[in-house]
Amino acid sequence: MTRLLVCLAALAASANAVELTSLVNLFIGTFSSGNAFPGAAIPHAMAKVGIDVSTSPRQAGYLHDNSSITGISLMHDEGTGGNTDGGYGIFPLFPLTNCNFASCPVQIDARAALRASGADAAKPGYFTTTFVNNIQIETTSTRRSGLIRFTFPTTGPNHVVIDLTNDLGRSFSGGDLELTPTGRVTLGGTFLQSYGPSNYTVFACYDFTPPSTLAAQPISQFGTYQSTKLTNPTAVTITANSTTLNFPFTADVSPEQAGALISFTNAKSIVARFGVSFHNAEQACANAEAEVPDWDFDNIQSASEQAWETILSRVTIDTDVEDANVVELLYSSLYRASLVPANLTDENPYWESQYPFYDAFFCSWDTFRTVHPLLSILSPVEWSQIVNAYVDGWRNTGYIPECRANTKAGYVQGGSDGMIPLGDFAVKYGSQAEALGVPTDDLYQALVDTAENTPPDWYTVGRQNTAWKTFGYIPTDWVDPSGSTGLPTREASRAWEYALGDFAVRQAAIALNKPQSDVDKYANRSMNFVNMWDPNVTSDGFSGFAQRRYPNGTFAFSPPNACSPIDPVSHSCARGTDNDVGFYESSSWEYSFFAPHSMATLVELMGGPTTFVSRVDHYFAAPYYLAGNEPGFLMPWGYHYANRPDLSALRVRDVVYSFFSTAINGIPGNDDSGAMAALLTFHILGLYPVAASKQLLIGSPLLSAFTLRNDFLGTSTAFTVTGFDKNGLTGTPPAGAAVFVKSITINGNPSQSICWIDFDDVVGGGTVEIEVYGDATAAAAAGCGEGANALPDSLSTGGFS
Ligand SMILES: *[C@@H]1O[C@H](CO)[C@@H](O)[C@H](O)[C@H]1NC(C)=O
Ligand SMILES: *[C@@H]1O[C@H](CO)[C@@H](O)[C@H](O)[C@H]1NC(C)=O
Ligand SMILES: *[C@@H]1O[C@H](CO)[C@@H](O)[C@H](O)[C@H]1NC(C)=O
Ligand SMILES: *[C@@H]1O[C@H](CO)[C@@H](O)[C@H](O)[C@H]1NC(C)=O
Ligand SMILES: *[C@@H]1O[C@H](CO)[C@@H](O)[C@H](O)[C@H]1NC(C)=O
Ligand SMILES: *[C@@H]1O[C@H](CO)[C@@H](O)[C@H](O)[C@H]1NC(C)=O
Ligand SMILES: *[C@@H]1O[C@H](CO)[C@@H](O)[C@H](O)[C@H]1NC(C)=O
């Protein structure tokens, strides 16, 4: 009886519930810097189907502007930097009408077409657009397969180009195509990575003959095309009845235009089924047959939507009560934060393994701060697969992957930051790792090997541990006697990241009951960032900054504002040998705040809490804060470490409302594989994760209540904000707006701090009540609360024990 009642109540609740997928805006960040991918994909999909523009930058293929479209292709990155022409975008299709087979404009520039104004529309699992000539494109997908439907204005003849050579990067290095008269086209090609030194080979299978239960698509003509001569690749020859193309591997990228052309009669609508694989074309066909057996567009689309609904429903709110703008930002961000890493399980072309294989760790430098911690709270099952893929990378290459992109090792940006999610996993799920299928001894060995060994070339994997262990910092102008090579730049920022990586090992050693000597060793090394602190450097009245250092111990000066948003000199700030500043994509001003595991050390080095607060204020005001990149992610919350959570509450609002919005340019920098999306999610929830630890900073959310669901633990944790004030939903809340945390009550008991919360309480299934008020003076005086444990942990003050 009781059970029946519960079931009925559940039914009633779900009948009234808003479809969370309807709240996702896929176009946020698709113009000017976001590089977000708005096409069709399931969560963590390998296939990400979307249209590609002819203009650059187009990292994810798409731009929400009026540029012309060159095709709809099968795989994409999400929010990355790298080659501005983009990565993937392989084997595009293009629909043509009103042309004669032998003279159809198949070549990429000739076929490019404009979209009708406002024609692009998307929701999770579905994308559509319409060209000015009224041909509509629609797509939906599964993990490795999907459907692309073209609806033409007339029954034709209509044509579809199947492009072998034009990936987004125009990096074709050889490949082949075969087609059958019954409309199966198989392709394989080798292309360059978007961000890395290697090439990769990928395969696809298109079918154009649907099952007899669906409308027929009679093929009237077929053939292949290719450049007439490579000195003028734009002139192409179309050969009717030809069924194969073969281009041997070339070390130089080929401008070859080549592919297949198929014509259809008496078909207004033409559906292509596709599959992709990294093994071979047969596997690509098998993937399509297994995942899209009956070509049912609506079924595939609703399965994709359902998969997204499951992800999104891990955060529930009352959509009628909460602010509509915040709601759209929240669910759009949750969506983008689960697009990658991409699940390539069963598609690893490099080694056989019982473990999952994931791609698009692009890069761990971007994602360790927010993407992985968000997965740890909401999606531990998916996360454990991703963690296993990191560990399996070590198992088969000796090092934890850093920037696996397009299946190959990309460039290392800073530290080996894949270490941090592994430490984070050990800390949060170490005791349940067996149930999650993660072998913790391997995980720990992966950490130790990456912390100790120096690869022959630390350009694409690993760290310069020879230098780190010899000096306790990364010296400038030092030739590694081991013969190990890599880009010897970014010395200061690399050292600060190596320190955090070592902290992750220390954390894992404790969580996994490894010897105390390991705990001490890595704790010790994790404090070595101070060795690159030059107390004598001053800037804008503040003294003490991270700096490069020679092998003899003397500091090498770089202006602390170099590579900041207001750098008066144009410096090179990337990985290249022309970076003579010592910091990667950030300034000394910003990196001098980067020690999440021992912020108390920085407060002290900077002259105490009062000076620290002034320095953080100045960093935002100058601004040295770069909202669009990862090194500054923590800093809106930085005041917590100086006992001023009231200032963090204001700063987080300032940052959210100044830099994020639901507009197409609503992300301040590249979404970076969902890093920005996960960051915004945390800001909205009033939480910020402390790297490789169970601690999260807590503040006042932008929601009045929310519930976090963790399916693995079987828990739902209810957060409520007592006294929630919508006047606080602005960049500069008016005086008196209740945005300051007054108290936190966890499962009915007062928390020992109003500045941090333990992971176990965030996922524990109980209640968290956050009481807020508007009394700025009282909030400033109250700080993080009374007692020895009020401030968030730092190693230097005995934290994280
Ligand atoms: C596209 O938009 C830009 C900027 O609004 C404008 O300058 C350009 O003329 C437009 N091009 C087309 C083909 O409509
Ligand atoms: C590209 O792949 C070929 C083999 O397919 C290999 O010989 C070549 O070294 C690769 N090039 C790069 C830059 O990885
Ligand atoms: C292609 O093959 C068809 C069927 O065999 C034939 O009718 C047609 O003439 C061929 N076309 C060319 C250009 O060879
Ligand atoms: C990844 O793919 C494998 C193989 O199909 C599947 O077992 C696993 O559940 C997938 N993981 C996710 C997160 O979708
Ligand atoms: C780390 O170990 C070295 C050598 O034993 C010691 O001199 C140093 O004080 C230690 N540093 C910390 C932060 O414990
Ligand atoms: C800082 O300057 C003082 C005074 O010139 C000097 O004695 C000290 O060695 C300097 N410290 C460093 C780390 O360069
Ligand atoms: C240390 O090395 C740097 C770079 O070679 C040099 O400029 C500096 O004078 C040296 N310092 C000392 C104290 O020898």
In this predicted structure, the answer to whether residue 17 has a pLDDT above a threshold of 80 is no
- Does residue 527 lie in a domain region? no
- 308, 329, 357: which is the final residue of a domain? 308
What digits encode the pLDDT tens for the residues 412-449?
A: 999 999 999 999 999 999 999 999 999 999 999 999 99
Give the domain range for residue 791: 1-30+634-801
Supply the residue whose CA is at minimum distance from atom 5 of ligand 4.
Answer: 345
Supply the residue whose CA is at minimum distance from atom 4 of ligand 4.
Answer: 345
Q: Confidence band (pLDDT; 50, 70, 90) for 482? A: confident
Closest approach atom of ligand 6 to CA 554: 14
CATH code, domain carrying 653: 3.30.2080.10
In this predicted structure, the answer to whether residue 4 has a pLDDT above a threshold of 90 is no
What digits encode the pLDDT tens for the residues 68-105?
A: 999 999 999 999 999 999 999 999 999 999 999 999 99
CA of 589 to the centre of ligand 7 (A): 24
Q: Which pLDDT score, from 0 to 100, does residue 3 have?
A: 39
Supply the residue whose CA is at minimum distance from atom 14 of ligand 2.
Answer: 198
Same domain flag for 653 and 728? yes
The pick from 520, 524, 794, 795 for probing ligand 5's pocket by mutation, whose C-beta has the most ligand atoms within 8 angstroms, reads 524
- Does residue 619 lie in a domain region? no
Contacts of residue 127, Cβ cutoff 8 Å, sequence gap at least 6: 26, 38, 39, 40, 49, 50, 51, 120, 121, 138, 139
Q: Is the CB of 550 under 6 A from ligand 7?
A: yes
In this predicted structure, the answer to whether residue 2 has a pLDDT above a threshold of 60 is no
Q: Is the CB of 240 under 6 A from ligand 3?
A: yes
In this predicted structure, the answer to whether residue 192 has a pLDDT above a threshold of 50 is yes
Count the domains in the chain.
2
Q: Concatenate the DSSP letters of all residues of 656-719 into one string.
A: HHHH--SSTT-SSS--TTTHHHHHHHHHHHTEEEPTTSSEEEE---SSSEEEEEETTTTEEEEE
Same domain flag for 229 and 154? yes
- Region 342-350: mean pLDDT is 98
Same domain flag for 134 and 250? yes
Closest approach atom of ligand 3 to CA 241: 1
The pick from 42, 44, 143, 375 for probing ligand 4's pocket by mutation, whose C-beta has the most ligand atoms within 8 angstroms, reads 143
Supply the residue whose CA is at minimum distance from atom 10 of ligand 5.
Answer: 524
Same domain flag for 44 and 1? no
Same domain flag for 40 and 20? no
User: Quick one: which ligand is closest to 526's CA?
Assistant: 5
Q: Is the CB of 2 under 6 A from ligand 7?
A: no
User: Quick one: which ligand is closest to 142's CA?
Assistant: 4
Q: Which pLDDT score, from 0 to 100, does residue 33 have?
A: 86
The pick from 385, 387, 388, 392 for probing ligand 4's pocket by mutation, whose C-beta has the most ligand atoms within 8 angstroms, reads 385
- Does residue 329 lie in a domain region? no
- Cα distance between residue 686 and residue 656, in whole Å: 12
- 263, 292, 308: which is the final residue of a domain? 308
Same domain flag for 87 and 123? yes
CA of 530 to the centre of ligand 5 (A): 12
Same domain flag for 45 and 61? yes
CA of 75 to the centre of ligand 7 (A): 51
- Does residue 510 lie in a domain region? no
C-beta separation of 591 from 581 below 8 A? no
Rounded to 5 degrees, φ, ψ at 12 are -60, -45
Residues framing ligand 4 (Cβ under 6 A): 44, 343, 345-346, 382, 385
Same domain flag for 768 and 797? yes
CA of 272 to the centre of ligand 6 (A): 70
The pick from 531, 532, 536, 543 for probing ligand 6's pocket by mutation, whose C-beta has the most ligand atoms within 8 angstroms, reads 536
User: Quick one: which ligand is closest to 537's CA?
Assistant: 6
User: Quick one: which ligand is closest to 543's CA?
Assistant: 6
CA of 537 to the centre of ligand 6 (A): 10
Q: Confidence band (pLDDT; 50, 70, 90) for 638? A: very high
- Cα distance between residue 567 and residue 644, in whole Å: 29
What digits encode the pLDDT tens for the residues 506-535?
A: 999 999 999 999 999 999 999 999 999 999
Element (H, E) at 313: none
Supply the residue whose CA is at minimum distance from atom 13 of ligand 6.
Answer: 534
- Does residue 648 lie in a domain region? yes
In this predicted structure, the answer to whether residue 753 has a pLDDT above a threshold of 50 is yes
- 257, 274, 308: which is the final residue of a domain? 308
- Longest Cα–Cα distance of the chain, Å, equals 82
C-beta separation of 362 from 671 below 8 A? no
User: Quick one: which ligand is closest to 340's CA?
Assistant: 4
CA of 385 to the centre of ligand 4 (A): 8
Q: Is the CB of 552 under 6 A from ligand 7?
A: yes
The residue written with tokens 């090992």 in the block is 505
- Does residue 106 lie in a domain region? yes
Supply the residue whose CA is at minimum distance from atom 4 of ligand 6.
Answer: 536
Supply the residue whose CA is at minimum distance from atom 1 of ligand 3.
Answer: 241
- Cα distance between residue 274 and residue 207, in whole Å: 6
- How far is the CA of 755 from the CAs of 92, 277, 278, 720, 778, in angstroms? 50, 47, 47, 16, 15
CA of 73 to the centre of ligand 3 (A): 30
Closest approach atom of ligand 3 to CA 240: 13
Same domain flag for 782 and 641? yes
Q: Which pLDDT score, from 0 to 100, does residue 350 have?
A: 98
Q: Is the CB of 216 under 6 A from ligand 3?
A: no
Residues framing ligand 2 (Cβ under 6 A): 190, 197-199, 249
User: Quick one: which ligand is closest to 530's CA?
Assistant: 5
Q: Confidence band (pLDDT; 50, 70, 90) for 776? A: very high
C-beta separation of 655 from 391 below 8 A? no
User: Quick one: which ligand is closest to 338's CA?
Assistant: 4
pTM, two decimals, is 0.97
Same domain flag for 3 and 68? no
What digits encode the pLDDT tens for the residues 110-160?
A: 999 999 999 999 999 999 999 999 999 999 999 999 999 999 999 989 999
Same domain flag for 129 and 58? yes
CA of 550 to the centre of ligand 7 (A): 7
Nearest CA-CA partner of 41 in 373, 385, 343:
343
User: Quick one: which ligand is closest to 188's CA?
Assistant: 2
Supply the residue whose CA is at minimum distance from atom 4 of ligand 5.
Answer: 524
CA of 688 to the centre of ligand 5 (A): 30
- Does residue 424 lie in a domain region? no
Supply the residue whose CA is at minimum distance from atom 2 of ligand 2.
Answer: 199
Q: Which pLDDT score, from 0 to 100, does residue 308 have?
A: 98
- Does residue 748 lie in a domain region? yes
Nearest CA-CA partner of 149 in 107, 101, 93:
93
User: Quick one: which ligand is closest to 553's CA?
Assistant: 7
Residues framing ligand 6 (Cβ under 6 A): 534-536, 555
C-beta separation of 195 from 362 below 8 A? yes
Written as six digits, the tokens of 776 are 């700025």
Pairing of strands 715-722, 767-773: parallel
Closest approach atom of ligand 4 to CA 343: 1
436: left (phi over 0), alpha (psi -120 to 50) or beta: alpha
C-beta separation of 85 from 168 below 8 A? yes
Average per-residue pLDDT in the chain? 96
Same domain flag for 84 and 225? yes
Q: Which pLDDT score, from 0 to 100, does residue 18 have?
A: 82
CA of 144 to the centre of ligand 4 (A): 11
CA of 125 to the centre of ligand 4 (A): 17
Residues framing ligand 5 (Cβ under 6 A): 524, 527
CATH code, domain carrying 186: 2.70.98.10
Please state which of the ranges 161-175, 477-491, 612-626 shows the lowest mean pLDDT. Answer: 477-491
In this predicted structure, the answer to whether residue 10 has a pLDDT above a threshold of 80 is no
